[in-house]
Amino acid sequence: MIRSTHLPLLITIATFVLAYTLCASQYPAMLSTRVVANLLTDNAFLGIAAVGMTFVILSGGIDLSIGSVIAFTGVFLAVILRDTSIHPLFAFVLVLAITISFGAAMGAMIHYLEMPPFIVTLAGMFLARGAAYVLSTDSVPITHEFYDTLQSLYWKAPGGGRFRLTGIIMLLTFLAGIIVAHRTRFGQNVYALGGGLSTARLMGVPLARTTIGIYATSGGLAGLAGIIFSLYTSAGYSLATVGVELDAIAAVVIGGTLLTGGTGFVAGTFFGILIMGLIQTFIVFDGTLSSWWTKIVIGGLLFGFILLQKGLTWATTLRRKPATEFAAQS
């Protein structure tokens, strides 16, 4: 029996499969492992950030700061590796500590000052971007042996596709996200929070700890995404990744998560990312379509999925009353 809560996820997966089949029927080369591997590598940083965004949106909040946090992380790593001689691994730990505490601070402001997440994370977005500008306004290249080692790590699949470390980290992040969301108390608390603040409080959900934890997770994952992005570009630039938060939100919505919170799946976000990556790949393959069609198609997809969710919620509320009567009879 397919539960209606699973339906958006199934439709997202079906859309992806259908879109991929259509693309492949037009360009058979799309089936090669190279394309699949690039799909994972190119969207690795976005995917990791979107996992954090999924948790935030599941809890009924929003995090506008992640694009800026990714840029800050990149610039911070580039500057610290240029000016000091510390090992990149230590720099990674340092930057993750900063981004996690940054997220936690935003969560604390949201909870204790009772301010809307939209406004708090908007200020956070300005702050993180500003901090990146202060560190450096130029694009700073990263030249470190350890970076070369990390970038050269890949598994070469038959067909020439290179599954790089960054793509694998994204897959692991999604796996961890799925486990945390569905198999831990924290995950259940996130869903409860999204279902309604007062209900969650009455159920005994630790509101302060959960809210701070959610935004710390999102901040930390944005930091991880920043590390991956710096591996991807070998540089840190304060103007990079502008508007990534919108892509992440779009991926989460296309993945079937309700923006009101409480309903959705981390796995859906994964397919949302893949669908968005697929559109870009198709435009590259086609060659005649202009880049702005990406935005228009993603906007159209967003609209389609929102309508679908609306239809489903409407259908389930219509069906609920007769369903309880049936249950009483049987």
Partner 1 sequence: MTAHVHNTFRRITPQLIILAAVLLLNFMVFPDFFRIEFQNGRLFGNLIDVLNRGAPTALLCIGMTLVIATRGIDLSVGAVMAIAGAVAASLAVDGHGWQVALTGALAVGALCGMWNGVLVAVLRIQPIVATLVLMVAGRGIAQLVTEGTILTFLDPGLIHLGAGTILGIPTPILIWIALGLAVTAAVRKTALGMLIEAIGINESSSRLAGINSRVLIISVYLISGVCAALAGVIVAADIKGADANNAGLWLELDAILAVVIGGNSLLGGRFSIVASLLGALIIQSVNSVILLSGMPPEFNLIIKALIIIAILVIQSPTVKHALYILRASAEPQPSEPIKEAKESPQ
Identity of the residue, 36 or 110, whose beta carbon is nearer to partner 1 in the bound complex: 110
- 160 is a site residue for partner 1 (CB under 8 A): no
Q: Which residues contact 109 (CB under 8 A, 6 or more apart)?
A: 115, 120
Site for partner 1 in 41-70 (CB under 8 A): 62, 64
The conformational region for residue 241 under phi > 0 = left, psi -120 to 50 = alpha, else beta, is left
| Beta-ladder partners of 147 | none
208 binds partner 1 (CB under 8 A): no
Q: Single out the residue of 56, 249, 251, 267 in contact with partner 1 (rule: CB under 8 A).
A: 249
Which listed range, 6-14, 36-44, 264-272, 284-292, lies at the site for partner 1 (CB under 8 A)? Answer: 284-292
Does residue number 302 form part of the binding site for partner 1 (CB under 8 A)? yes
Binding residue for partner 1, selected from 156, 299, 319, 323, defined by CB under 8 A: 299
Question: Between residues 133 and 232, which has the closer beta carbon with respect to partner 1?
Answer: 133
**Could you say which of 6, 156, 182, 295 contacts partner 1 (CB under 8 A)?**
295
Dihedral through CA 23, CA 27, CA 33, CA 39, nearest 10?
Answer: -50
Counting Cα atoms < 13 Å in the Cβ hemisphere of 16 gives 22
Which residue in 18, 97, 208, 307 binds partner 1 (CB under 8 A)? 307
3-state DSSP call for residue 155? strand
From 28, 83, 114, 152, residue interacting with partner 1 (rule: CB under 8 A): 114
Report the site for partner 1 in 124-143 (rule: CB under 8 A).
124-127, 129-131, 133-134, 137
What are the DSSP E strand ranges found in the chain? 140-141, 154-156, 162-164, 235-236
Beta bridge partners of 235: 141
b/e string for 8-38 if b means 16 or more Cβ within 10 A? bbebbbebbeebbeebeeeeeebebeebbbb
Q: Which window, 81-89, 139-147, 252-260, 320-328, contacts partner 1 (CB under 8 A)?
A: 252-260
Residue type, 281: T
Nearer to partner 1, 40 or 125 (CB): 125
Given its phi and psi angles, is residue 262 left (phi above 0), alpha (psi -120 to 50 degrees) or beta?
Answer: left
Nearest to partner 1 of 24, 135 (CB atom): 135
- Select from 3-11, 14-22, 87-95, 295-303 the region that touches partner 1 (CB under 8 A): 295-303
Task: State which residue, 150 or 246, has the beta carbon closest to partner 1.
Answer: 246
Q: CA–CA separation, 260 vs 296, rounded Å?
A: 24
What is the contact surface with partner 1 in residues (CB under 8 A)? 62, 64, 109, 112-116, 118-120, 122-127, 129-131, 133-134, 137, 246, 249-250, 253, 259-260, 290-296, 298-300, 302-303, 306-307, 310
